[in-house]
Amino acid sequence: MLLELFIFMEFLVFTLFLISFFTRQELLWFITAVFSGIMMMNSFNIEVAGYVFNSITGNFDIATAAFSYPYLMGINLLVFSLCILMGTFDAWDKFGQTKAGI
């Protein structure tokens, strides 16, 4: 995944997390957890593209360099766990029994 796309998707994950936190919607928690799970897997291969001059053809060729950031997987794992936990709590608040047990 390209670095720019990764930054955009990470921004999307945190935005969805904040929207889910304030609206308390179970579907948004699920969507945020799915995006966070995707970002966990993609954090191990982040590519940066650049141009390298090719002296044979006289053109610039695209060259990519791949990097691995395990701490980004940890951040997304934390967001994923919080989404599952808070989504479950919101589902219990919405569909659970009343406090009187009726």
pLDDT digits (tens, 9 = 90+) for 24-79: 888 999 999 999 999 988 888 788 878 888 888 888 888 878 777 788 889 999 99
SS3 content of the chain, % helix, strand, coil (to 5): 65, 20, 20
Q: Specify if 98 maps to a domain.
A: no
Q: Specify if 79 maps to a domain.
A: yes
22, β-bridge pairs: none
The first and second tokens of residue 46, run together, are: 């982040």
Domain containing 38 equals 3-91
28, β-bridge pairs: none
Question: Of the candidates 66, 68, 75, 2, which has an alpha carbon nearest to the alpha carbon of residue 40?
Answer: 75
Question: Does 10 have pLDDT greater than 80?
Answer: yes
pLDDT confidence band for 19 (50 / 70 / 90)? very high
Q: Specify if 23 maps to a domain.
A: yes
Q: Specify if 61 maps to a domain.
A: yes
Q: How many domains is the chain partitioned into structurally?
A: 1
Q: Specify if 96 maps to a domain.
A: no
Residue 99 is predicted with a pLDDT of 65
Q: What is the model's pTM?
A: 0.75
